[in-house]
């Protein structure tokens, strides 16, 4: 893996990168390679970590449970 220079921000970018991590400038791809993850609109794709995904799921479940308890308390009164 070699580092190249981004033509936009002059930062160091891996030759295997789809876009510059600093500015999102799309880097050239080899022909015949899969475009996944794609660079859409000149900005690199964003990834979510496993911890963030678990936090979102647990938070959603806790919110729904709290809402159900509150609705039951209001209807029970």
- Same domain as 26, residue 52: no
Through-space distance between the first and last CA atoms of the chain, rounded to whole angstroms: 66
Look up the domain containing 60 and give its range: 47-77
Query: Do 36 and 5 reside in the same domain of the chain?
Result: yes
pLDDT < 70 positions in the chain: 1, 28-48
Q: Are residues 59 and 73 in the same domain?
A: yes
Res 44: pLDDT? 52
Cα dihedral 43, 45, 51, 56, rounded to 10, equals 80
29 and 64, same domain (yes or no): no
For residue 48, the model assigns a pLDDT of: 67
pLDDT of residue 8: 84
Whether the Cβ atoms of residue 23 and residue 8 lie closer than 8 Å to each other: yes
d(CA 21, CA 40): 14
pLDDT of residue 68: 96
Residues 38 and 62 both lie in one domain: no
Q: How many domains does the chain have?
A: 2
The answer on 36 and 19 residing in a single domain is: yes
């Amino acid at each position: 893996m070699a580092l190249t220079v981004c033509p936009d921000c002059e930062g160091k970018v891996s030759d295997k990168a789809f876009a510059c991590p600093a500015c999102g400038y799309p880097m050239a791809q080899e022909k015949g390679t899969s475009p996944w993850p794609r660079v859409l609109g000149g900005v690199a794709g964003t990834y979510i970590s496993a911890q963030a995904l678990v936090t979102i799921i647990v938070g959603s479940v806790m919110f729904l449970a709290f809402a159900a308890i509150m609705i039951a308390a209001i209807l029970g009164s």
